[in-house]
Amino acid sequence: MNKSNKLYKKALSLFESGKIDKAVEVCEKSIAEDARNKAAMDLKGLIFYLKGDLKEAKKIWQLNWKVNKDKAAEKYLQGIDNDERLFQYFLKALKCIEKLKINEAVELLKRCENSDYNSINVSNNIAICAVKQGDYDKANRYLEKVLKLDKTNEKALETKRNLEDIGAIKKNFNFRLLFKPAAAALLVVLIVLGSIYIYNRHLRNTPKVSLKKPKKVVVKKENKKVVKKEVKTQIKFDEAELQNAINNKDYEKIYYYEENFKDKDVRINDKVILNKALEILKNDGVAYFYGTASSYAKKSDYANAEKYFLKAYAYGSSNYLYKDIIYFMATSYKNSGDIENAIKYYTLYDSNYKTGSYEETVLYELAVIYKDIDKGKAKNYASNLVNSYPNSIYNNSIIKNIISN
């Protein structure tokens, strides 16, 4: 077996193990060894096809058919037109999800299931719809379908974590950790020894403190009067810099200019470019800040998460992400222990999005937060939860106790 075929076999094994990104890398190495390796080219095209990148898949299969006269590639290409129509259904489904038209979204996504094309994204979004409908078993089935193909798929893993957090599915426990007591014990010993070493080193390097009474220092008073002048830094509007930020999608710089000059008296030309910057912030900028905040929140870096959620919130009132920004900002404040702000944004969500995807979670969080602060409010939120969502997984013993007391 030549090197190209060996690499293809490895790529196939990685693909079957759900490591599709690694599989693509090895496919590329296989093709680099032999540009006529039909199987490697077909597999690479298939992976892009499953991920929804029809343009890249089509390019690979066309090359395989043109160069190698590969019958499998020809067969894949014959169904491309139908897949392009299915992708339009997928896009419509995403818009339905944004507008919380979940039943319509599911119908469209079911049509997309008639092909393997884009199956990872289709299954991910069916799972999201199932969560919103309260069908957690169905959601889990589709998440497993995604993770079988792509075991590191972040969207599926995030949805799965959310289901685990609310107790809808059981958390996977790593039993291998139980068989590593020696390693754990060694780690503890190393930490203790390291702490002792650092402490002793600190003692050796700390200068000895003299117990002698210090001499009195006489300070001569001067008659000169010192006048303090406050120096104000003047921020200048740099049109070229802002235009460059717009061209390069530098949302941080655009935000800086908008915050510093939105209420300033600037030239007409500067106002024009500021208006352009504002529109960019309200659309792409909000999505960028929201995504950045979410990344920090996943790492439990709530200080940075809150900073970026606030940036997204400041310019997101007309953006479809606005309700999600409010919810996740409240959750970030709750997780960081800032209960006052958590209440503020949970209440804002409850006031404006009573039919929103996170409303039952918001009612539960407010009921639990208020149970030790204001029993009347706690009971009100708990009652709203039970009445509005009688089958909610949040209708647990905590909620029952709040209502009965």
What CATH number is given to the structural domain containing 127? 1.25.40.10
**Structural domain for 160, as ranges:** 82-165
Say if 349 falls within a structural domain: no
pLDDT at 191 over 80: no
Same domain, 86 and 152: yes
Say if 235 falls within a structural domain: yes
199, two tokens: 């402490």
Lowest-confidence segment of 52-61, 96-105, 234-243, 300-309 by average pLDDT: 234-243
Nearest to 130 by CA among 117, 115, 120, 140: 140
Highest mean pLDDT, choosing among 216-220, 292-296, 329-333: 329-333
Nearest to 109 by CA among 383, 94, 225, 75: 94
**Of 212 and 369, the one with more pLDDT:** 369
Lowest-confidence segment of 69-73, 138-142, 180-184 by average pLDDT: 180-184
Same domain, 96 and 59: no
Say if 199 falls within a structural domain: no
- The mean per-residue pLDDT over the stretch 77-106 comes to 87
The 8-class DSSP code of residue 112 comes to H
CA atoms 66, 72, 73, 76: torsion sign: positive
Say if 218 falls within a structural domain: no
pLDDT at 322 over 70: yes
Same domain, 105 and 57: no
What is the pLDDT, as a whole number, of residue 233? Answer: 53
Measured CA to CA in angstroms, residue 267 lies from 233, 237, 264, 271, 405 at distances of 20, 10, 10, 6, 63
Same domain, 312 and 297: yes
What percent of the chain is predicted at pLDDT more than 70? 82
Virtual CA dihedral for 76, 78, 84, 86, nearest 10 degrees?
Answer: -80
What is the pLDDT, as a whole number, of residue 392? Answer: 76
Say if 8 falls within a structural domain: yes
Same domain, 67 and 132: no
Burial class (CB in 10 A: 0-12, 13-18, 19+), 87: middle
Mean pLDDT score across all residues of the chain: 81
pLDDT at 187 over 90: no
pLDDT band at 176 (very low <50, low <70, confident <90, very high): very low
The model's pTM is 0.46
Same domain, 120 and 69: no
Highest mean pLDDT, choosing among 84-88, 271-275, 307-311, 388-392: 307-311
What is the pLDDT, as a whole number, of residue 81? Answer: 82
Alpha-carbon span 237 to 9, nearest angstrom: 59
Say if 49 falls within a structural domain: yes
- Per-residue model confidence as pLDDT tens digits over 341-390: 999 999 999 999 988 778 888 999 999 999 989 999 999 999 999 999 88
Boundary (domain end) residue, out of 165, 186, 218: 165
What is the pLDDT, as a whole number, of residue 119? Answer: 93
What is the pLDDT, as a whole number, of residue 356? Answer: 79
Say if 240 falls within a structural domain: yes
Nearest to 139 by CA among 152, 158, 116: 158
What is the pLDDT, as a whole number, of residue 337? Answer: 92
pLDDT at 215 over 70: no
Percentages of the chain per state (helix, strand, coil), in multiples of 5:
70, 0, 30
Q: Which parts of 37-173 fold into alpha helices (H)?
A: 38-51, 54-68, 71-78, 80-98, 102-112, 119-132, 136-149, 154-165
pLDDT at 148 over 90: yes
pLDDT at 207 over 50: no
pLDDT band at 225 (very low <50, low <70, confident <90, very high): very low
Lowest-confidence segment of 122-126, 266-270, 399-403 by average pLDDT: 266-270
Boundary (domain end) residue, out of 78, 97, 125: 78
Same domain, 310 and 234: yes
Say if 306 falls within a structural domain: yes
pLDDT at 403 over 90: yes
Nearest to 354 by CA among 377, 332, 323, 378: 323
Same domain, 57 and 129: no
Measured CA to CA in angstroms, residue 270 lies from 128, 249, 257, 267, 283 at distances of 43, 18, 11, 5, 20
Same domain, 308 and 257: yes
Boundary (domain end) residue, out of 254, 286, 317: 317
Contact partners, residue 259, CB within 8 Å, separation at least 6: none
Please state the domain count of the chain. 3
What is the pLDDT, as a whole number, of residue 6? Answer: 92
Same domain, 97 and 72: no
pLDDT band at 200 (very low <50, low <70, confident <90, very high): low
What is the pLDDT, as a whole number, of residue 79? Answer: 80
DSSP 353-380: -TTSTTHHHHHHHHHHHHTTT-HHHHHH
